[in-house]
Structure 1
Amino acid sequence: MTDFWLATALLLGVAMCFILLPLLLRRPSPAGQDRAALNVALFEERAEQLHAQHADGLLSAEDMASGRAEAARELLADADGEEAPPAQGQDWRLPLLVAFVLPVLALGLYLHYGASDTLALSRSFATPPQSLADMTARLEQTVKAQPDAVEGVYYLARTYMAQNRPGDAAPLFERAVALAGRRPDLLGQWAQALYFANGKHWGAPMQALTDEALKADPNEVTSLGLLGIAGFESQHYAEAAGYWQRLQALLPAGDPARQALQGGIDKARQRAGLPPAAAAEAVAGLKVQVSLAPALRDKVLPGDTVFVFARAVNGPPLPLAVKRLTVAELPATVELSDADAMQPALKLSAFEQVQLGARISRSGQPTQGEWLGRGAPIARDSAVLQQLTIDSPDS
């Protein structure tokens, strides 16, 4: 910052020169001296005129003397009416006042409206941080200088969480939510910070935040993981396993976190008295008999596409398993299993409860159509043949 202040001082010096030099070089006005000289010249000219008129015989000696006396009186009257001429010395009070006020005013305006903090931050970030503590200090300076910059607030909160400082991170996540809006990922991380700051004791604030996050995004990973941890700590092992299975289904196949989650899932299912997750995945798929309501037989075409699907009750809106038929094949019995998954990461066996549905779509789009049938929520490992009738408009 030294070079910055030197440059600032130089610019102030130049500005002061433009203001002070005209004041210092100003000369006193000679107006008073010029007027006195003019009055004397006029008196002498009048005296010569009177003398010439006397020589020509136009004036007597008495009239000439009277005229000179009158001109002398006028000269004295003008001299008495003039003000005393100004002092010859320069008045330094105004230049000194300007020299003092100008830098102080400029400095005050800059400190109030300027960006000295931002300049200092940009210089500090010119070199990479040497340690985690150094990076934390820089982020703290950034948040202090720019409290409304959501990126700085968010990354400082994440850094505090990495340093096991959830009590410091929680208010920062709250501020990030206030600045960026109630995004599901921010709500989940805020709930996580509150949970660990509260000594791993689950409470209403964390529940409200995770509920809101999962309502907006059923795949919000932080909320799913946190609910699994909280469920396990509170001995709700079946719930914990369910949340962790949902989280595991969202992770890529090669993600190392899948193995860690599998260990937690197995442990939670064991304590809940449930079979291992691998055994659950080996359960046969759901068997569904799909039929068309008699009232719709004249409203559909034999070639219209029929999608039979299963969707998680508490999970992503995307169908977990789908089979494709035509109206001409109805009634038909199909089986939905992991082999019919629309995405490899979202499997039917990863969710405890599902809802069956069948849609007739003339355009062949699985997410929109003309007629729909829905079933009640059932266990995903149910062995009972499910009955599904397409009988309602798809709205």
Structure 2
Amino acid sequence: MTDFWLATGLLLLVAMSFLLIPILRGRSGQAPVDRTALNVALYQERVAELSAQRDEGMLSAGQLDLGQAEAARELLTDTDGADVAQPKHASKALPLLAALLVPLLGLGLYLALGASDKVELTREFAQPPRSMAEMTERLERAVVAQPDSAEGLYFLGRTYMAQNRPAEAAHLFERAARLAGRQPDLLGQWAQALYFAQNKQWSAPIQALTDEALAANPNEATSLGLLGIAAFEGQRYAEAVGYWQRLLAQLPATDASRQALQSGIDRARERQAATPAQAAAGLTVRVALSAELTGKVLPSDSVFVFARALNGPAAPLAVKRLSVADLPAEVQLSDADAMMPQLKLSNFPEVQLQARVSRAGVPTRGEWIGRGQPLSSATTEAQHLTIDSPDP
């Protein structure tokens, strides 16, 4: 930064010299001239000359008077406008003052509106950091200097993740996603930060972020890795293997992370093999409509009976469709009713049963709903579910 200020000072001196040198030259080379005094002296010399000619007898008294009158008239003519003021010290002081104030004003405006902090950051980033703490401090200052830089927010978020500060990283990734237009890689980083900030507890916002990221880019690496981690932590080893294999397939052969990822796949397969095979989950659900709703629904209205994971994705694990005319009814929910192959009832230890009346025939939106208490997906006793509440 010292070099910058030295160069700035030299430029200011050069600029001042262009203004000061002409002023100083003009002051030293200009001799003051008093035109009035000169004209008066010439007049007096002319009058003396006429008087001498009269004394010598060359002029008469009348000719002397005419000569003196002519000399006086010439004096008046020559001195006409001679009272115009010559430049004074104040008029020369004004350019000198301007020569000093203009550079100072420019310097003041630069300090107030310029980018000296960004110049300093650029110089610092040109040098390798001596520690992680120094790199973090640089990135934090860069984010303060350029709060609308998605790139700066992204790199600071990655640094916070490396320092086990996921909650702060999640906030930065959220800001970066808003600025950059919700790019898939930013959504994946945001979801991962939220997952670790919530102590590895899966939630609907995390699921929504990974769904959005993979919808835009099915090979988004962070989302695939995160879904594999969540499946492994939830002892859904087959799912973990599936996500990690998709991630492994897109990594270059020379990527250093391939070995670690393959080790994770191998561990998931070992644990899957060591886990006793679980019998296909099946839940018996008896669904009824409350008496208060009898006159508020139509026999043709659709009824969706489904099971959701208590801690997992928001998508239903198993669904059956009926109509109001079929109620009361008893249905079986099992892996055969899964909406997606990777989301099976048997893969989630705890679920919640729900039943929804939807006049439009949409399983995710309706008029009335009934909810059961959390229960094990391996429960064999029949469950009773009553549709009795408005669907928010």
**Normalised-by-shorter TM-score class:** 0.5 to 0.7
Question: Counterparts of 2:264 and 2:17 in 1: how far apart (Å)?
Answer: 73
Is 1:252 paired with 2:243?
Answer: yes
* Pairing 1:238-387 to 2, within 5 Å after superposition: 244-245=234-235, 252=243, 254-255=245-246, 260=264, 263=267, 279-280=277-278, 282-387=279-384
The corresponding residue for 1:39 is: 40
Give the 3 Å change call, closer, same or farther, for CA 249–326 of structure 1 in structure 2: farther
The corresponding residue for 1:20 is: 20
Work out whether residues 248 and 261 of structure 1, in 8 Å CA contact, stay in contact via their aligned partners in 2. Answer: no
* Pairing 1:107-146 to 2, within 5 Å after superposition: 114-115=114-115, 118=118, 141-146=138-143
Aligned residues: 331
Of 379-388 and 113-122, more deviation after overlay is shown by 113-122
**Given residue 264 of structure 2, which amino acid in structure 1 is its aligned partner?**
A
Which secondary structure does the structure 2 equivalent of 1:20 belong to? helix
**Given residue 152 of structure 1, which amino acid in structure 2 is its aligned partner?**
G
* Pairing 1:93-242 to 2, within 5 Å after superposition: 114-115=114-115, 118=118, 141-147=138-144, 149=147, 151-152=151-152, 154-156=154-156, 158-159=158-159, 166=164, 173=169, 176=172, 189=193, 210=199, 214=203, 217=206
Q: Give me the TM-score of the superposition, normalised by structure 2.
A: 0.57
Question: Counterparts of 2:201 and 2:30 in 1: how far apart (Å)?
Answer: 82
Question: Counterparts of 1:253 and 1:187 in 2: how far apart (Å)?
Answer: 17
Question: Counterparts of 2:50 and 2:202 in 1: how far apart (Å)?
Answer: 111
Give the 3 Å change call, closer, same or farther, for CA 265–334 of structure 1 in structure 2: farther
Instruction: Tell me how far 1:355 sits from its aligned partner.
Output: 1.4
Question: Counterparts of 2:167 and 2:312 in 1: how far apart (Å)?
Answer: 29
Question: Counterparts of 2:264 and 2:161 in 1: how far apart (Å)?
Answer: 20
Question: Counterparts of 1:7 and 1:34 in 2: how far apart (Å)?
Answer: 49
Question: Counterparts of 1:283 and 1:253 in 2: how far apart (Å)?
Answer: 25
**1:104-157 Cα shifts (integer Å, max 9, x gaps):** 88678657754466457669989xx9x999999877645444445574355245
Work out whether residues 249 and 347 of structure 1, in 8 Å CA contact, stay in contact via their aligned partners in 2. Answer: no
Question: Counterparts of 2:369 and 2:104 in 1: how far apart (Å)?
Answer: 77
Instruction: Tell me how far 1:252 sits from its aligned partner.
Output: 3.4
Give the 3 Å change call, closer, same or farther, for CA 348–331 of structure 1 in structure 2: same
Instruction: Tell me how far 1:331 sits from its aligned partner.
Output: 2.5
Question: Counterparts of 1:381 and 1:360 in 2: how far apart (Å)?
Answer: 26
Instruction: Tell me how far 1:308 sits from its aligned partner.
Output: 0.5
Work out whether residues 311 and 319 of structure 1, in 8 Å CA contact, stay in contact via their aligned partners in 2. Answer: yes
Give the 3 Å change call, closer, same or farther, for CA 98–13 of structure 1 in structure 2: same
Give the 3 Å change call, closer, same or farther, for CA 354–159 of structure 1 in structure 2: same
Instruction: Tell me how far 1:380 sits from its aligned partner.
Output: 1.4
The corresponding residue for 2:389 is: 392
The answer for unaligned runs of 5 or more in structure 2 is 73-85, 178-186, 211-221, 249-260
Work out whether residues 195 and 206 of structure 2, in 8 Å CA contact, stay in contact via their aligned partners in 1. Answer: no
**Given residue 252 of structure 1, which amino acid in structure 2 is its aligned partner?**
Y
**1:198-219 Cα shifts (integer Å, max 9, x gaps):** xxxxxxxx7xx54999485467
Instruction: Tell me how far 1:296 sits from its aligned partner.
Output: 3.2
Instruction: Tell me how far 1:307 sits from its aligned partner.
Output: 0.6
The corresponding residue for 1:81 is: none
* Pairing 1:46-61 to 2, within 5 Å after superposition: 57=61
Give the 3 Å change call, closer, same or farther, for CA 42–171 of structure 1 in structure 2: farther
Give the 3 Å change call, closer, same or farther, for CA 53–21 of structure 1 in structure 2: same
The answer for unaligned runs of 5 or more in structure 1 is 72-84, 193-205, 230-239, 270-274
Question: Counterparts of 2:129 and 2:201 in 1: how far apart (Å)?
Answer: 33
Give the 3 Å change call, closer, same or farther, for CA 388–30 of structure 1 in structure 2: same
Work out whether residues 185 and 220 of structure 1, in 8 Å CA contact, stay in contact via their aligned partners in 2. Answer: no
**Given residue 308 of structure 1, which amino acid in structure 2 is its aligned partner?**
V
Question: Counterparts of 2:123 and 2:129 in 1: how far apart (Å)?
Answer: 18
